[in-house]
């Protein structure tokens, strides 16, 4: 089982907790009349999930399926006996009920419970049904308790750690994408794709941790993870942004590959490279694109540190960089227009299309990043405003208590005796 980012543990915490929960569930179930210790152990194993919310959800579905299967089995037994044909009909009925209730994953467990109930001798039907339900409840309760009390799973720190690692890698991808295009370097584009594959693997980890955090909005999970719903929404938006950016970075690499292929075609045909490649206007455009990539990298770094680590001191820098992006975006468009006008009669259409595609992808990344920045800034400002109101409210309450205290002292004295002017000496 993974232990952090780099190594593996001989026995993972979840494995250890599963063993403890199974043994304890079997032991406790053995103390309860008519219960099935094996079923309690199975329930404990299945219900000890990577997150507490998932454990509770898994346990709830097993309880529902077991109770439904037990009730259907009892109903068919008392109506028709345990005839083998009626057993088949009962299985059909319980599966249909599960489908109607949208319990598709629990249908097999409910059907197994029906079979188990109708396969018992008459004297054992009711006691077996109660014992099966009780055993399941014991396994679920033990698994949930162990998951909460023994090293409870904390997915928020892992999410923040993975997000921080990705924050360090993406700015380099922006610069590599533009540099690979500018140098028409196929090897650099391929290295960029390899780095992108590693980033995609880390984003999948983020998605998994986010899935666990999705259930951490109620009950014990919310208490243990200490994540607010607004933070979860911001994390979710961040992950979607990373997925979109990876698609655009892959597209940037594809543009470089096609440009390189076009160069090879020209060489095979004995033609020189299009002079527009080396024109001063095109070089100025590339210079602006490099500036744009550096700016996007710095903005990405700041925004994700604000999202993942709540570094509110970066807010002025983010606002400044956002303003610079708009100005640089206009400069890139002007230089693209100047390049097109300067080389309109000798411009290779494939080069023109690739340049437009590079600019479009970078602008899309920038616009999406600015949207995420605005959401992060709004969330931080809203939280700071709420905290200020709470502090003001606490300060006012303290002042009110102080005033009331002084009034009490003036009226009754510090030791509780009546003060002057109260008529106590009359």
Tens-place pLDDT, residues 259-269 = 888 877 777 77
> What is the pLDDT, as a whole number, of residue 128?
80
To which residue do tokens 């196929």 refer?
186
Q: Which two tokens stand for residue 70?
A: 């037990």
Is residue 402 scored above 50 in pLDDT? no
Under a CB-based contact definition with an 8 Å cutoff, are residues 31 and 135 in contact? no
Q: How far apart are CA 3 and CA 161, in angstroms?
A: 13
What's the rounded mean pLDDT across residues 83-92? 90
Q: Which two tokens stand for residue 42?
A: 């199975």
> What is the pLDDT, as a whole number, of residue 50?
72
Is residue 331 scored above 90 in pLDDT? yes
Task: Tell me the whole-structure pTM to 2 decimals.
Answer: 0.63
Which bin fits 180, alpha (ψ -120 to 50), beta or left (φ > 0)? alpha
pLDDT tens column, 100-158 = 988 888 888 889 888 888 887 666 777 887 888 888 889 888 988 887 787 766 667 77
pLDDT tens column, 362-388 = 999 999 999 998 888 888 777 766 555
> What is the pLDDT, as a whole number, of residue 298?
92
Among 100-109, 135-144, 182-191, 293-302, the range with the most confident prediction by mean pLDDT is 293-302
> What is the pLDDT, as a whole number, of residue 153?
66
- Angle formed at CA 335 by CA 332 and CA 337, multiple of 5 degrees: 110
pLDDT tens column, 57-69 = 777 788 888 889 8
Q: What is the DSSP string of 165-233?
A: HHHHHHHHHHHHHHHHHHHT-HHHHHHHHHHHHHHHHHHHHHHHHHHHHHTTTSHHHHHHH---HHHHH
Q: How far apart are CA 144 and CA 149, in angstroms?
A: 9
Q: How far apart are CA 123 and CA 100, in angstroms?
A: 32
Q: Could you tell me which residue, 199 or 421, shows the higher pLDDT?
A: 199
Domains of the chain, first to last: 12-149 (no CATH), 155-396 (1.20.58.220)
Identify the sign of the CA torsion 27, 32, 33, 39: negative
Q: Could you tell me which residue, 412 or 82, shows the higher pLDDT?
A: 82
What's the rounded mean pLDDT across residues 88-107? 89
Q: What is the DSSP string of 276-332?
A: GGG-HHHHHHHHHHHHHHHHHHHHHHHHHHHHHH--GGGHHHHHHHHHHHHHHHHHH
CA distances from 87 to 114, 127, 145 (A): 8, 19, 36
Give Cβ neighbours of residue 91 (< 8 Å, ≥ 6 apart).
111, 114, 115
């Amino acid at each position: 089982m993974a232990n952090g980012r780099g190594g593996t543990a001989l026995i993972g915490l979840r494995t250890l907790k599963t063993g403890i929960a199974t043994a304890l569930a079997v032991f406790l179930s053995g103390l309860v009349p008519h219960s099935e210790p094996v079923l309690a152990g199975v329930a404990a194993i299945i219900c000890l999930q990577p997150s507490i919310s998932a454990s509770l959800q898994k346990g709830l579905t097993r309880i529902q399926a077991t109770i439904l299967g037990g009730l259907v089995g009892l109903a068919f037994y008392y109506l028709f006996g345990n005839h083998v044909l009626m057993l088949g009909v009962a299985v059909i009925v319980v599966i249909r009920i599960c489908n109607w209730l949208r319990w598709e994953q629990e249908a097999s467990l409910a059907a197994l419970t029906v079979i188990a109930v109708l396969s018992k001798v008459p004297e054992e039907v009711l006691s077996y049904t109660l014992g099966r339900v009780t055993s399941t409840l014991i396994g679920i309760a033990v698994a949930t308790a162990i998951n909460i009390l023994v090293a409870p799973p904390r997915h928020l720190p892992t999410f923040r750690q993975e997000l921080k690692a990705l924050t360090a890698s993406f700015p380099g991808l922006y610069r590599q994408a533009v540099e690979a295009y500018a140098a028409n370097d196929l090897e650099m584009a391929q290295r960029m794709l390899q780095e992108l594959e590693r980033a995609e693997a880390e984003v999948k980890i983020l998605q998994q941790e986010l899935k666990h955090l999705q259930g951490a909005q109620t009950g014990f999970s919310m208490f243990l993870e200490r994540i607010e719903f607004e933070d979860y929404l911001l994390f979710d938006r961040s992950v979607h942004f990373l997925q979109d950016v990876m698609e655009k970075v892959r597209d940037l690499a594809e543009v470089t590959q096609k440009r390189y292929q076009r160069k090879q075609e020209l060489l095979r045909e004995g033609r020189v490279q299009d002079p527009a490649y080396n024109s001063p206007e095109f070089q100025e455009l590339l210079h602006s694109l490099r500036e744009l990539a550096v700016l996007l990298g710095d903005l990405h770094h700041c925004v994700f540190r604000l999202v993942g680590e709540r570094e509110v001191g970066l807010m002025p820098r983010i606002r400044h960089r956002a303003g610079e992006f708009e100005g640089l975006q206009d400069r890139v468009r002007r230089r693209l227009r100047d390049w097109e006008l300067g080389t309109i009669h000798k411009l290779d259409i494939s080069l023109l299309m690739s340049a437009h595609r590079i600019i479009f992808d970078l602008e899309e990344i920038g616009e999406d990043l600015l949207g995420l920045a605005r959401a992060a800034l709004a969330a931080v400002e809203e939280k700071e405003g709420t905290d200020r109101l709470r502090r003001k409210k606490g300060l006012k309450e303290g002042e009110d208590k102080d005033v009331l205290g002084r009034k009490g002292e003036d009226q009754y004295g510090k030791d509780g005796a009546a003060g002057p002017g109260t008529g106590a000496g009359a």
